[in-house]
Amino acid sequence: MKVHVYEKAFLSIGGGMLLVFLGALAFATLGAGIHLPDRAGSIDPQAVRTTPPFDDPGVREIAPGKYEVVMVAQAWSFDPAEVRIPAGSEVTFRITSPDVIHGIHVEHTTINVMVVPGQISEMRYTFREPREHLIICHEYCGIGHHYMYGKVIVE
């Protein structure tokens, strides 16, 4: 008889935990705006440096208060390594890699994506307050991985 009580308790706790985790997932998706980055297309990894817009990485104003950052993650740097934008700007990051898998994480934001050779990743974020954000590579990419960083300066 005691066995059934323990089984019911275990199933109840497991079911409760499942509901809590699903609630956390729903909150992250709907309430906090955390979602998977868009796959914006494909690119030949061998031709990244000769294919627009990655042949000229940098920051571009595409509309008032809206910017596009075209970035290349390569062993062991980000190009551009420094991004300067005004506070209140909505920024669209377009990023790819010509060599190996990298990651990009911009501290204190929801920007966190794996950068795969041959794939263009796109993510948007609005930088509301002046601040300096560190950009780090969160996927081990070789012996110089710890030198791979940059920054977003919101002015």
My answer on whether 25 and 76 are in the same domain is no
Number of folded domains in the chain? Answer: 2
Q: Tell whether 25 and 47 lie within a shared domain.
A: no
Determine the structural domain holding residue 23 and report its residue range.
Answer: 1-35
The sign of the CA dihedral 45, 102, 49, 39 is: positive
Closest residue by Cα to residue 119 from 106, 141, 107, 103: 103
pLDDT of residue 41: 83
Q: Do 45 and 25 lie in a common domain?
A: no
Strand partners of residue 55: none
* Per-residue pLDDT reduced to its tens digit, 27-63: 877 877 666 666 678 889 999 999 999 999 999 999 9
Same domain, 71 and 139: yes
**Residues 8 and 75 grouped into a single domain:** no
**Dihedral class, residue 58 (left if φ above 0, else alpha if ψ from -120 to 50, else beta):** left
